[in-house]
Amino acid sequence: MILGLDVSTSITGASVIDESGCLLFCGKYDTRKIKGFYLKADFVEENLKQLKKDYDITHVYIEQPLGMFKSGFSSAKTIQLLNRYNGVISWICRKIFKTDPELVNAMSARKLAGIKFNKGDKAKEIVLKFVLDNEPLFDIKYTRNGTPKPGEFDRADSVIIARAGYLLCQEEENSKS
């Protein structure tokens, strides 16, 4: 089984896909109210240990963190923190699942999954709509204003990372035959 993670210091999305490509689990680990870098990582670790008990995960794919500064997005300090946190979660995954996690670029994962969008489109909204349209077991909760609740975009992103991981595993299997 394949675990896909969208790692963030506020909400981490996690999805599990089985060997036939079916989504089995899609959840979020909300660490917004947890104070402290390591306490957040501990919380995610405990949840990942539960996933290990519930599913026979053999492959872990994690969305690659931002590699460079983009004007108007995140500061250099934020990018450094996200990279550091992503590294800690990657190490935790390696310890729990006994496999080296693979980092997947978000754009590459979207392309592998078949998501198309134009420059200027809001990628998160297109990803969410794609997942809602293509994953029968995926549903989301909305605020009273009709917008997705916090964490729903993270969950959708984790589905795409898991789906990309599944497709990469299929490619690897096909190349061996």
The 59-63 sheet, strands edge to edge: 23-30, 11-17, 2-6, 59-63, 102-104
Number of domains in the chain: 1
Which structural domain, as residue segments, surrounds residue 90? 2-176
pLDDT at 67: 52
Task: Give the model confidence (pLDDT) of 13-63 as tens digits.
Answer: 999 999 999 999 999 999 999 999 999 999 999 999 999 999 999 999 999
pTM of structure: 0.89
pLDDT digits (tens, 9 = 90+) for 81-134: 888 999 999 999 999 999 999 999 988 999 998 898 887 788 888 999 999 999
The 8-class DSSP code of residue 148 comes to: B
Among the listed residues 72, 96, 80, the one whose alpha carbon sits nearest the alpha carbon of residue 37: 80
Residue 130, domain CATH: 3.30.420.10
